[in-house]
Amino acid sequence: MDEQSKIGIVIPVYNHGTRISDVVHQVVPLGYPVFVVDDGSTDSTAELLSSMDGITVLTHSSNLGKGAALQTGFTAAQKSCNQAISIDADGQHKPEDISHLIQAAKNNQPEIIIGKRQGMDQTHVPWTSKFGRKFSNFWVWVSGGPMLSDSQSGFRLYPIAEVLALDVHAKRFQYEVEVLVQAHQQGIAISETPVQVVYQKGAERISHFHPWRDFMRNSATFSRLIFQRIFRIFRVGRTR
């Protein structure tokens, strides 16, 4: 199996009917296996995906969350790939930057590569994204994870077997931050590389992030991770 065939693209989708066609049509020509996970969409997503060639479509009968969709995609990709690149379905990422993620990876070790979004301080970027990025970066570190610049970026390269083996409980947006904490604690290398970002204006932008609801979910996830970290430290101290 050549190096390219060992990398799969995983795209979690939930009600991205107006964007998913563009994303898929940009990704498929790159030549990697593409796994699109329809996470219980209720719009035109399922119909659009059924008409597209060059992709494997996986379907959740109801909305289980982005983390659950990623895990479904990783599990399917693992049959033919040892690494997976996740890319969001909203058109925020540039598929041409996939090569940057691959080039940043070291061949001699499992590693998570995060696409560090550039230009996040510009005026057209939603305040929720700016605040959420800083909030997440700090609490990932406090929870025992690495110090990062963009812990919320969904554009990443994952070592599939190592990530699926992690004890990650979050199934929605919080999966992406918890996996960083758990991976860091298991000794999996994590690094960042610059990528482009596109934020559509007004009604053109599709986001399923709800600031207050997801803030509470984030807080609950970080509280659990911090408690686990304190418990581990206490337990190690007791055994000395």
Identify the sign of the CA torsion 133, 160, 188, 64: positive
Q: Which fold has domain 4-239?
A: Spore Coat Polysaccharide Biosynthesis Protein SpsA; Chain A (3.90.550)
Where are the chain's structural domains?
Answer: 4-239
108-167 pLDDT, tens digit per residue, is 789 999 999 997 666 566 656 777 788 889 999 999 999 999 999 999 999 999 999 999
| 75-83 average pLDDT score | 96
| Sign of the CA dihedral with 24 first, then 95, 161, and 219 last | negative
pLDDT at 221: 83
Q: List pLDDT tens digits, range 179-234.
A: 999 999 999 999 999 999 987 665 445 555 556 676 777 778 888 888 887 877 66
Its pTM stands at 0.85
pLDDT (tens digit per residue) in 40-50: 999 999 999 99
Looking at the DSSP bridge assignments, the partners of residue 137 are none
- The region of weakest confidence among 89-98, 179-188, 230-239 is 230-239
The predicted structure's pLDDT at residue 103: 93
pLDDT for residue 112: 97
